[in-house]
Amino acid sequence: MVHTLAWNDTCNILCGLQDTRFIVWYYPNTVYVDRDILPKTLYERDASEFSKNPHIVSFVGNQVTIRRADGSLVHISISPYPAILHEYVSSSKWEDAVRLCRFVKEQTMWACLAAMAVANRDMTTAEIAYAAIGEIDKVQYINSIKSLPSKESKMAHILLFSGNIQEAEIVLLQAGLVYQAIQININLYNWERALELAVKYKTHVDTVLAYRQKFLETFGKQETNKRYFIFLLFFFYCKSNHQAANPARVWV
């Protein structure tokens, strides 16, 4: 339970007292960008020295002032580098930000830079920062994004990287990349939405059904989704009678 919080006076840095720990969130927006690395963007220290019911009075620059229950004030100094990193990023000085992290050589700084770069869609800097904190799978994913042929595809996968699934789907559909929008939902096992898009745009319904069948066979399961079951029966019927399947006729 966090019982007292304070924002920095100049940049997006948050500090608080949680039980017996003093915590600084150097880049709180990480929770909206990449929750996996959020713990790597924190600074923590023991707060038992502040006794019971301490209160944060101010957070100015890199100085935090805490008032103890007896009224006395305690001053804590934190690293000044995260604030400098914020300044560089807000001015889009990505090369300076990378040089700063290389100079400081702290995982916290690299993790903050990774989240900041993704939030600002600078995937080149994000790749460098993720590599520095050992997130190899994310480095590989970023490389795959950079190799995509269209601007819309890249934008959609950057949004996916940040967990913005609906926004990514909208970008693809507006660009006419219906199959990619369907494939995103298949990859996320969002079967209802994948089938809905295929039927709505009258394309790749058979592809969605094939992926669904492969998924069920892989896990040794039977079809329990009524819509998929109806579509499978319809397609088998059309195939056996040599008829063209019209998905709109069975969408309920």
The 8 Å CB, 24+ separation contacts for 145-152 are: 150/175, 150/177, 152/177
pLDDT computed for residue 114 by the predictor: 96
Burial of 184 (0-12, 13-18, 19+ CB in 10 A): buried
pLDDT computed for residue 52 by the predictor: 80
Quote the CA–CA distance of 48 and 67 in Å, as a whole number.
Answer: 13
pLDDT computed for residue 242 by the predictor: 53
If you search the block for the tokens 């944060």, which residue do you land on?
56
Quote the CA–CA distance of 101 and 182 in Å, as a whole number.
Answer: 39
pLDDT computed for residue 216 by the predictor: 87
Q: What's the pLDDT tens digit per position in 103-123?
A: 999 999 999 999 999 999 899
Q: What's the pLDDT tens digit per position in 5-17?
A: 999 999 999 999 9
Strand partners, 4: 17
Q: What's the pLDDT tens digit per position in 131-177?
A: 999 999 999 999 988 888 888 888 888 888 878 888 889 999 998 99
End-to-end Cα separation, the chain, in angstroms: 47
Q: Which of 31-40, 58-67, 149-158 has the lowest mean pLDDT?
A: 149-158
Q: What tokens appear for 21 in the block?
A: 């720990």
Q: What is the mean pLDDT of residues 74-95?
A: 95
For 92, 112, 159, 228, the CA distances from 121, given in Å and listed in that order, are 11, 14, 9, 37
